[in-house]
Structure 1
């Protein structure tokens, strides 16, 4: 059996027995990240928009 076929065979046999990961942990990380982005966007969004508009105005001469 070639090395690749043996790898596929072993991967198929172990697929049901291996740890599938920490789903609640990933959900928590995702929700916390989304919350932080929303918080930062809410606090800094208007200021960042002003900075962006000022930069565009200085480039376009407006």
Structure 2
């Protein structure tokens, strides 16, 4: 009977320790989500801005390259 109690005590302590580690890790990583969202939105804004500015020049450059390969 003593062995069963010791085993159940060890199991309970292990589960509490694992839960504590998981909870501590989850609380630590909680602040990363807004940062990644901000980085994603800023990247999308930069790409959109660059595309608006450089889009016509890129189209012209691509057309000139294709016309140069396929001929007039």
Work out whether the TM-score is over 0.5. Answer: yes
Choose 1 or 2 for highest CA Rg: 2
3-state SS in 1 of match to 2:38? helix
Residue matched to 1:31: 41
Structure 2 unaligned regions, length at least 5: 1-17
Superposition RMSD on alpha carbons, in Å?
A: 1.3
Structure 1 residue runs of 5 or longer lacking an equivalent are 1-12
TM-score, structure 1 normalization: 0.71
Return structure 1 stretches of 4+ with deviation > 6 angstroms.
none
Greater helix share, structure number: 2
TM-score if structure 2 supplies the norm length?
Answer: 0.62
Q: In the TM superposition, what is the alpha-carbon distance from 1:17 to its structure 2 partner?
A: 2.7
